[in-house]
Structure formats: structure tokens, C-alpha cells
Amino acid sequence: MVDAVQAEASMKRSAYWLGMASVFLLALSVRLPCPASKYTVWYERSAAFWGALFEGDLKATYQSYHPGVTTMWIAGSGMRAYLANQGQPAADIVSLPGELPSPQSPSAHAGTAALGLVIALCILGACALAAQLMGKAVGLIAGVFLALDPFFVAQSKLIHVDALLSSFMLLSALLLIRYAQTKRWSELVFSGVFGGLALLTKSPALFLVPFAGLSLTIGHLSSDGASSFLQVSTWRKPPKRTIPALAVWVMAAAVVFFVLWPAMWVQPGRTVSDMLLNGVLHHAEQSHPFPQFFLGETVRNLGPTYYPAVLAWKMSLVTLPAFGLALWFAVRDRGEEDSRTARYVLVYATAFLLQMTLSAKKTSRYVLPVFLALDVLAAWGLVRGMETLRARTTWLTGRASALLLAGVLALHSGLVLRVHPYPGTHHNLLLGGSRVARSLFQLGDQGEGLDRAARYLNQKPGAGFLTVGICDPGNLMFRENFKGVTKPINHTTVDYRVFHVNDVQRSVRFEHCETYWEACQAAGPIWTQSFDGVPYVWVCSAYARDLSAFSVDHRVDARLGDHVELLGYTLPSTMISAGDTFSVTLFWRSDGLVGADNHVFVHVLDQGGNLVAQHDGVPASRDRPTWGWQKGEVVRDDHPVPVPAGLPRGTYTLSVGMYDYGTKARLPARDADGTELPGGQITLSELAISGAP
């Protein structure tokens, strides 16, 4: 009997550790492939940070008031690993953003991968702490929710600060809660260590200081048998142990903050003051420099409802109702230890949400720490709900409840992974998904879909010679993936125009796009990319596809080869003087499948069919080679034809055609009725040339 119990316990331990390993691998697997980002600022700062270290310029390790030190250490380590793999010296890290500027470049990907590894380890740590605080089932489910939280994953797939900040803050908070239960000093010290790492990442982590004081006070009051936390007398004299404990926490955080930031070694006062004045006050007093889209309008002041709405729509169909269950049980079950833990986490999430709501500068990623706390609460609410259901029914056995929980996790995973590798496009289906969210929030903050637009255009013949206009020509998700040239949307010689949902929604920021956007919608895009049923990217022809947009004197409707059509032409006059140059304008259309470099010939023939004048060349004065023609576009093609001065007076014939420049073979020509024309020549008009007698 004892052996059976021990064997069962051993199997449970093995299953738990297998689950922990699975959580880690799951968290890592969704963060490593296909980094999706339009940001490179922390890529550049990481390189500059390590460059300052190599040069011994410790002051220059202050790169930002955020301060982003942990991001620069970790991402820079990944970039150094890339250099080592390439056989390059570590000092070359300074030049990497210049040589490989794309956030999808191998070196940037190495930096993102290093951050993803650390974040996955933090998720594993949070999973273990949640298991100690609320039970192993809660810990493992919380691990899955954290690993696959789409908003968290989206912020983890780039070199930035918010995902790392949120991870360190969660670990610090959970360790504080654990200390409140056990009173083990090691847990308090480690909480301070992670608090210091969070402070090194971003200034909003200062929130942890008052939260630590509150948590320690409540923990000590509970252990001292305080009768009621609602009585003023209870709080007049905090327990004597609170101040020393808080001092230990602050000291651990301060040591980490000092030791890991070389700028603190040489100018500690200035470094801290710059961080506080430029960071905390900047976010508290100044709104976002660019207008944002919220509730159907482009605004600068997002208001107090913004963050709650972001939380609701960015959580999943599973985690949002599970969090609702957690709220219910946290309020109802006051005496149980795991309920007390849930209330700690709820206070942490609510207080941080309030802090960021009071700040003037708002954007969705600033409340990422709240998402992580709600994931933990959702896991607890799901387990407590299942336990309550089991207690009230006879048919729900332990095995059945485990299978039901596994089914819920599978549903959650499927809903999230369906938008992989673009987790930022996820919106809560319980609230209408992206179809509703697009009228509430700005979409595409990471430039999702622009890389696919670049790949679509890269498949065009001669893609390297194409010029594409885009509202934000600096957007690296497009520019660094496109083979051709990227220009502003209003550039006069672009071949295509690309529009992104984020720019279209924030029309105030890109007012110059509106005219071209309306034209694109009127003509219809030639390619779109949608996520969750909502278009994110539109590719439009920059050229007219309707002949009526031009002044055409004569229709022809002749065909050349299998892919080209001569629609018509304009000839100002058929009365030409010898020695002059006349122009003929041709209007072509193709099916977009011309792979050859076809040149146009314009010939003037005498009555005997002899060539007396001509103009050959690439269409549109060499600007529009045939292999770059879009499907259905009308190409205007001007040809100046010089007439020899000694040409006799008489009647001549003007004809045109095409030939393959590589083989010099003419394309077969057919008239509008399908009759083949001899010599591949299309006769346009007779010319009366007044020349030498």
C-alpha cells in the first residue's frame, strides 16, 4: 500500500515537472520565430550600450531615461553571440544596426531570441511561484496562459522594454506575496532583486516600492492577528517588522540597480535624477506625441476608459470569463489562503492600472504588467470554478475535470495560435473580435502584414527596380523586406502604393495619404492582407487602369503576343515637315505576365515599305520596362520620331510593334478582329510629309 502511494506521488511529481518543461518550451517556441516589429530604437541602443562598455565610457551606458538597462544587456548578449558565430570581433557590435538595420535581420533576431529566452525563464519562475501559492494545477495553467497570452507574446517578439519589465515585476510581486506567507528572508531578498531588475528596465517599476510596503504591512498584520484591516487603529502603527523588511527589499533592489548599470558607478546622482525627471515626470505630464485612434476618433487624450477596454479586448475568450470567476471567488471566499493570495494579485493589478491611468501618456503596452497578473488570476479562477462544480455534482470525477480543463486549455491555445506569428492581431472573440475592435482601437501597431505585402511585391518581375509609395516610408516592416525602392506615398514615379490600417486609422498623422487612399478604394486594391477577417494592408496600382483617364484620339485594340494589347494612340497631326520631329503617344495594357524585356518600335515607311524614320526603345522613355507592367494598368508611352531633312514629299505609313530585346524577334500582332498582321506591324495612320521636291 505504501509503495503504491509513493509510486502515485512520484508519478504526480513527474507529471508536474513535465508540465513545467512543456510550459517553458511553449513560451519559447512562440517567441523565437518571425520577430514582428517596426521598432529598432532598442536594437540601436543595445549596440551603443555595449560599444560604450568596450570603450570604457561608462557614462555612455546611460542611453535612455527608461532606462532599459536589462534589455540592452540581454539583447546585446544575443547580438554578441551572433558576431561570435560569424567569426567577427565583439567590438563590431557598434556597427551592426548600420550594416543590418532591419528588426528582422539575423543580428536583431539574435537579440530578440536572447530576450525571448529570459522571458520564457521568467514565465517558468512565475509558474513555479503560482504553484506554491495557489496549487500546482493553478501554476501550470497560469504558465500556459502566460506563455500564450497574445498581447504578451506580441511585446516579446521585439527588442524593447515592456515584456521584460512585466516579467520582472510579476516575479517580484509573487515573491513578496510568498514572503507574506512564509516570512523567509530569502524570498524577500529575491523579490528585491527582481524589483531592481524591473527598475533597471523601466521607470514605472517604481510602483513596486509602495506595493512592497503595503504587502509587507498586510502580511505582518495578518501574522500578528490584526482583528480588522478596515479599522484606522490597525494602520496607525504598522508592525515593527515591516520597516526592516521593506529596508531589506529596497537594499536588494538598490544593489542590483547599482551593480548592473555602469553609469551608476561614475555618476550615480545625475543618472538617477535624469531617470526620474525625464522618465517619470515625462510620462506623468506629457501625452503621446502622435494622435491615437480610440472609440472611432483620432485623439490625443485617451481618457480613463482606454486601459480597461484594452484589457477586455486583448484578453482571450477563455481568460476574460476565467478572470471574472476569480473576482467572484476572491470576494466570496475570504478565509482561504489561496483566496488571500488572489486578493494580493488583484490589488497589484488594480493599483498598477490606476497608476498608468493617471499618467498623461498612454499606449496599450504600458499596462502589460496587468495582463500578466490577470493571467494568474484567470488560472486560479478556472481551477476554483472546476473544484466548485465538482463539489456540487456527482458525475464530474477527477479524471473528467482534468480532461475538461485540458479541453479549455486546448481551446485557448487554438484561439491564440490561429493568429501566429502575428499575435498582435488577436482580439477577444467573446466581444466580437477584430471586426468590432477595429472601430474602437488602432490596429497594426507592429506593422503586421507589411512584410507579407513586401513579399507579394517581391514576386513581381523586376521587383528590385520597382518603386513603392507608403504613408510611413520609414516603416521597417515593409522597407527592410522589400527588394525595391520605398518612397513617400505622394512620390510622383511610384509603381504601387501600399496602405496600412494603422496609418489609415490615424489619418491626422498622415494627412497626405487621404487623397491616395480614396483613389485606391475607388479603383480597388490589387492585393490585400487580412487577419481575423479584417483587412490590414492594401496594395494599389499607382497607374490608371481605365483608358478614359487619358486623352486618346484613336482606338486600336490590337494584340501583340500573348500578354500585350495596344489600346489606342494619340497623334497631334498627320501633316509633318521633313527635318522636324513629331511625337506619337501609345497606350498599352498587359495581363501582368510579361516576363521579357520587350522594346517598342515606331516606324515610318514609304510606299514601297522601306523604313525611312524610326524610334525604338523601352516604353515610357525607359521608365516602364514591359516586365514591370501591372495587370490591367494602362501604360502611356511617348515616342519622338525625327524625320530626315532630305525626305521626299509624299504619303507615308506610320506603324508600330514590339520585339524581344534579347532575341530581336518581333511579337506577332493581330488586329481587333483577331486577324494576324504581317511582319508584326500595326498600321496606325498615313502621314503627309512635306519635304524636298
pLDDT digits (tens, 9 = 90+) for 121-163: 999 999 999 999 999 999 999 999 999 999 999 999 989 999 9
Q: What is the pLDDT of residues 645-676, one digit of tens each?
A: 889 999 999 999 999 998 999 999 999 888 99
Give yes or no: residues 150 and 266 share one domain: yes
Sign of the dihedral through C-alpha 379, 385, 390, 396: negative
- The pLDDT of residue 2 is above 70: no
Domain encompassing residue 82:
20-424
Question: How far does Cα 164 stand from its chain's mean position?
Answer: 17
Q: Is residue 444 part of a domain?
A: no
Give yes or no: residues 54 and 136 share one domain: yes
pTM comes to 0.83
Q: What is the pLDDT of residues 329-343, one digit of tens each?
A: 988 876 677 788 899
Q: Is residue 496 part of a domain?
A: yes
Give yes or no: residues 529 and 573 share one domain: no
pLDDT of residue 180: 86
Give yes or no: residues 181 and 217 share one domain: yes
Q: Which pLDDT band, with edges at 50, 70 and 90, does 10 fall under?
A: low
Q: How many domains does the chain have?
A: 3
Give yes or no: residues 408 and 521 share one domain: no
- The pLDDT of residue 230 is above 50: no
Q: Is residue 618 part of a domain?
A: yes
Q: What is the pLDDT of residues 574-633, one digit of tens each?
A: 999 999 999 999 999 998 888 889 999 999 999 999 999 999 999 988 878 888 787 888
| Average pLDDT of the chain to the nearest whole number | 87
677 with 564: CB under 8 angstroms?
no
Give yes or no: residues 500 and 582 share one domain: no
Q: Is residue 1 part of a domain?
A: no
Q: Is residue 27 part of a domain?
A: yes
Give yes or no: residues 83 and 226 share one domain: yes
How many whole angstroms separate alpha carbon 207 and alpha carbon 370? Answer: 12
Burial grade of 258 (CB within 10 A; 0-12, 13-18, 19 or more): middle
How many whole angstroms separate alpha carbon 2 and alpha carbon 617? Answer: 93
Give yes or no: residues 321 and 182 share one domain: yes
Q: Which residues pair with 658 in a beta bridge?
A: 600
How many whole angstroms separate alpha carbon 686 and alpha carbon 653? Answer: 5
Give yes or no: residues 561 and 504 share one domain: no
329 with 342: CB under 8 angstroms?
yes
Q: Is residue 84 part of a domain?
A: yes
φ/ψ of residue 607, rounded to 5:
-65, -25
Alpha helices, H only, 359-449: 368-392, 398-417, 433-437
Those residues whose C-beta lies under 8 Å from the C-beta of residue 25, and which sit 6 or more positions away, are none
Residue type (1 letter), 477: M
Domain boundary among 389, 424, 459: 424
Give yes or no: residues 593 and 609 share one domain: yes
> CA-based angle 9:10:16, to the nearest 5?
90
Domain boundary among 541, 576, 604: 541
Task: Read off the CATH number of the domain in which 648 is found.
Answer: 2.60.40.770
Please report, for residues 256, 281, 529, the alpha-carbon distance to residue 564 in angstroms, rounded to integers and kept in the order given: 70, 63, 28
Q: Is residue 436 part of a domain?
A: no
Give yes or no: residues 41 and 182 share one domain: yes
pLDDT of residue 32: 86
How many whole angstroms separate alpha carbon 691 and alpha carbon 491? Answer: 44
Taking phi first (over 0 means left), then psi (-120 to 50 degrees means alpha), and beta for anything else, what does residue 433 get?
left
How many whole angstroms separate alpha carbon 123 and alpha carbon 29? Answer: 13
> CA-based angle 68:70:74, to the nearest 5?
120
Between these two residues, 235 and 434, which has the higher pLDDT value? Answer: 434
Give yes or no: residues 622 and 668 share one domain: yes
Q: Is residue 438 part of a domain?
A: no
Domain boundary among 408, 424, 440: 424
